[in-house]
Amino acid sequence: MINFKNLKSGFTLAEVLITLGIIGVVAAMTLPTLIANYQKNQVISQLKKAYSTLAQAFTMATTEYESPEGWDISGLDSYGFIQKYLYPYLNIAKDCGTETTGNCEFKVSKLNSDTYENFGSTHPRFYLNDGTLIALKIFNQDNQVWTNIYIDVNGNKNPNKYGKDIFMYNILFKTSNTNLIGKFLPVGAGLTRAEIISNSKYGCSKNVSGTNAGTYCSALIMTDGWHMAKDYPW
């Protein structure tokens, strides 16, 4: 007679291996998505902090010097602008000035390219306390005056791409669109979401191959409420 009390149940080696195989397949399928989501959230957090820091400095400058429309920048180069209107209101970890070597190097590529442009001494730069690298340049052409501000959220580490770790903002001092004058805005502000994505030169899309593809990505992120939506070209 069989004594069922002495029988022990358990998994066979084959069952254990099958289970582990299934777990491995599921992990392989989900892990890249989890890593990508973590990276995107980290970039958003860093960008939002840098934007807030610069926006606050800009607001403080407007308080002292009144409306940016009246700022006297005609006699200032880009570095002079930084020293007068930004540095007094920021905690600077390192002032690179016009230095372009070592960790003061600022290189950037468009979204879908590995060909880098190295900013020269016309783009003075500095580090914030959290390691964010900022570069800036004043432009005066076609009866418009504006300042481009480039935010590299992880310093000069890779990937150094628009829309990945480098994001572009500007301050407009003279332009035909008076609604944008004197505001600290992402490049592409005022456009529709569709225009931000599909613009042939600056659009935030993997299908755009223009010379500065990805520079509108900061506008897309802010349009989507500080979020990288499913169609964001990560």
Tens digits of residue pLDDT in 10-23: 678 777 777 777 77
pLDDT at residue 143, rounded to an integer: 81
**Alpha carbon 192 to chain centroid distance?**
19
pLDDT at residue 48, rounded to an integer: 97
Whether 4 is in a domain gets the answer no
Whether 229 is in a domain gets the answer no
Whether 204 is in a domain gets the answer yes
pLDDT at residue 140, rounded to an integer: 84
The upper half-sphere exposure of residue 205, i.e. CA atoms within 13 Å in the direction of its Cβ, equals 15
Domain that residue 131 falls in? 15-223
pLDDT at residue 229, rounded to an integer: 96
Q: What pLDDT digit, counting tens, does each position of 33-54 carry?
A: 777 889 999 999 999 999 999 9
Q: Is 94 left (phi over 0), alpha (psi -120 to 50) or beta?
A: beta
Question: What's the number of domains the chain is made of?
Answer: 1
Q: Three-state SS for 148? A: strand
Whether 230 is in a domain gets the answer no
CA dihedral sign, ordered 153, 118, 89, 188: negative
Q: What is the pTM of this model?
A: 0.86
- Per-residue burial over 87-112, b if 16 or more Cβ lie within 10 Å, else e, is eebbeeebebeeebeeebbbebbbbb
pLDDT at residue 2, rounded to an integer: 55
Whether 211 is in a domain gets the answer yes
Q: What pLDDT digit, counting tens, does each position of 77-107 carry?
A: 999 999 999 999 999 999 999 999 999 999 9
Whether 123 is in a domain gets the answer yes
49-65: average pLDDT? 94
Whether 228 is in a domain gets the answer no
Whether 94 is in a domain gets the answer yes
Average pLDDT, the chain: 89
Lowest-confidence pick of 5-9, 192-196, 197-201 = 5-9
C-beta atoms surrounding 201 within 10 Å: 13
Beta carbons of 184 and 168 less than 8 angstroms apart: no
Q: What pLDDT digit, counting tens, does each position of 103-144 carry?
A: 999 999 999 998 999 999 999 999 999 999 999 999 988 888
